[in-house]
């Protein structure tokens, strides 16, 4: 999902731009959470009754979807921090 941000439009007067920036911040938080879920052991192969190669191949999709759901339900606050940082930088221009 690529959301292009229009240039030369003040952020304060453009709610579409703010929405696009928040979507990108949430996407970044979801990517971070998916990576952390992997490091926490989500999707590791089981000793018994595992799904074999198919399970291994689709584990990344599971982690990504779970991370997206976590962000939709409030996440860890990373998206909000990123968004605030982006808006401060944008407003300073």
Which percentage of the chain shows pLDDT scores above 90? 45
Quote the pTM value.
0.73
Q: What is the pLDDT of residue 25?
A: 96
In this structure, are residues 26 and 79 in contact, taking their beta carbons and an 8 Å threshold?
Answer: yes
Average pLDDT score, the chain: 82
Tens of pLDDT, residue by residue over 56-72, are: 778 888 899 999 999 99
Pair 29, 75: CB distance under 8 Å? yes
Chain position carrying tokens 């190669």: 53
In the chain, where the domains are located:
16-39+53-91
Maximum distance among all Cα pairs of the chain, rounded to whole angstroms: 57
């Amino acid at each position: 999902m690529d959301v292009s941000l229009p240039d030369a439009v003040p952020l304060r007067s453009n709610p579409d731009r703010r929405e696009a920036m928040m979507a990108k911040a949430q996407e970044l938080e979801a990517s971070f959470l998916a990576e952390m879920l992997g490091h926490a052991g989500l999707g590791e192969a089981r000793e018994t009754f595992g799904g074999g190669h198919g399970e291994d191949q689709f584990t990344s999709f599971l982690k990504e979807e779970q991370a997206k759901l976590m962000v939709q339900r409030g996440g860890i606050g990373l998206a909000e921090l990123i968004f605030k940082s982006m808006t401060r930088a944008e407003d300073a221009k």
